[in-house]
Amino acid sequence: MEIFACSASKDFACKVIETLNSINRPDEAPVHLGDLQVTQFSDGEFQPCFTESVRGATVFIIQSTFPPADNLMELLLTVDAAKRASADKVIAVIPYFGWARQDRKDRPRVAIGAKLAANLLTAAGVDRIMTCDLHADQIQGFFDIPVDHIYASKVFLPCIKSLKLPNLAIAAPDMGGAKRANSYAKSLAGDRQDCGVIICHKTRERANVVSEIKSIGDVEGRNIILVDDMIDTAGTLCKAADVLKEKGAASVRACGTHGILSGNAVRNIHESALEEVYITDTVPHPELAGDSKIKTVSMAPVFASIIDKVYNYEPISPDFVF
């Protein structure tokens, strides 16, 4: 096993390495983060280079592909370098799969960016993909190679249970998140039979701008947790929280897997009715360490477990919580 990290996910990779070395496998040597150097040219072009042999190795390359597009390009070039260096297998570990919102033609004359990104990764020579909370589950079908689709519910459900909130309800900030909210509610129903589901219906003026949100379900007196796959500008999330609070919710919190937090997202969250927001570290935000409202939960142990089991040809289904 050889593990390398591209520029955007080095901290995440270090956490993965730490967890892998804590797994007791006496017959295996400790895992280290391989040395990957990226040469920068004056015009902005760059070239990744492995400074150690990967011949015959199973190579895991960790990189989230959030913008800028250089993050995706660096991953593609690193995969190509590994294949040309005679790696046996190349597995792309993509905690956050960028461009996933472009999963269909929702209007004429637009690209399907998620499919294009899948084609590029396959063409570069990736043998397997590991990723977390895709914007749409069917994106797995864009690949003709195995995809391990990991769910952040593995870390969020224990987090929600630890809050011990009475009269709990799970809410989806839009209609597309209804399935996710229902899955969370079912998983929590074993501990809390009163766990309800609330759906928010939104209309948009344009991309990233929400005009109106209406809620469907019993809100009065509930401690509500909004669940979503990503938080970009936080406009939908904050407006949904404000609407739910106005309708009589006792408290509103949120769990969003990928904290993109672009533009004024952090300020929006702090000025909203949200009491707490939980995100994962699939997109790095070191500046949020110690933030009073936005808290980070690590997905690295989950990815480390999947990496270890895939490498050792062990079943991974017990690691999946939907």
| Selection from 2, 23, 24 nearest residue 13 by Cα | 2
Residue 182: CA atoms inside 13 Å, Cβ hemisphere, count? 7
> Are 314 and 31 spatial neighbours (Cβ–Cβ below 8 Å)?
no
- At residue 17, what are phi and psi to the nearest 5 degrees? -60, -45
Q: Of residues 202, 245, 295, 309, which has the active-site annotation?
A: 202
> Are 191 and 164 spatial neighbours (Cβ–Cβ below 8 Å)?
no
Active site annotation includes 202: yes
Report the sign of the C-alpha dihedral through residues 133, 134, 135, 140, in that order. Answer: negative
- Mind telling me the catalytic residues? 202
